[in-house]
Amino acid sequence: MRRKPFLITGTDTGVGKTTVACAIAAALANRGVRVAVAKPFETGCDLAPDGSLVAADALRLRYFSGCSEPPEVICPYRFRLPLAPSVAERREGAVIDLA
């Protein structure tokens, strides 16, 4: 049986999108469903000691889903500023290339 993907979205930061996604991913994984997760953009990332940005929400999604993809695949675009991704992109001088 082919399962269909679905998207969890919301209109602001801190409204619970990641919490809900983690709960759904964990529930499915606990039922033996293979779960893949993606968080294409994460803003408000903390700096790791090596200077890289830590996508904490993506790491939570990875943990609760049991997904084995590396964090860079789950969340390829990370920004320090806690803003909308397009705004953080401009302010941080990054380029988002969806191709």
> How many residues are recorded in the chain?
99
Number of other CB atoms surrounding residue 27 within 10 Å: 12
* Catalytic hit among 18, 25, 39, 78: 39
What's the rounded Cα separation, in Å, for the pair 41 and 82? 11
Instruction: Please confirm, yes or no, whether 39 is among the known catalytic residues.
Output: yes
- Hey, is 53 helix, strand or coil? strand
Active site residues: 39
